[in-house]
Amino acid sequence: DAGITQSPRYKITETGRQVTLMCHQTWSHSYMFWYRQDLGHGLRLIYYSAAADITDKGEVPDGYVVSRSKTENFPLTLESATRSQTSVYFCATRLAPRNNEQFFGPGTRLTVL
Partner 1 sequence: KQEVTQIPAALSVPEGENLVLNCSFTDSAIYNLQWFRQDPGKGLTSLLLIQSSQREQTSGRLNASLDKSSGRSTLYIAASQPGDSATYLCAVSPTIKFYFGSGTKLNVKP
**Binding-site ranges for partner 1 (CB under 8 A):** 31, 33, 42-43, 45, 48, 50, 58, 90, 92, 94, 97-107
Shortest Å distance, C-beta 38 to partner 1:
11
Shortest Å distance, C-beta 90 to partner 1:
6
User: Cα(25)–Cα(31) distance, rounded to whole angstroms?
Assistant: 11
Q: Between 64 and 90, whose beta carbon lies closer to partner 1?
A: 90
Shortest Å distance, C-beta 101 to partner 1:
5
Q: Taking a C-beta distance cutoff of 8 angstroms, is the pair 106, 6 a contact? A: yes
Q: Taking a C-beta distance cutoff of 8 angstroms, is the pair 88, 109 a contact? A: yes
User: Cα(78)–Cα(50) distance, rounded to whole angstroms?
Assistant: 21
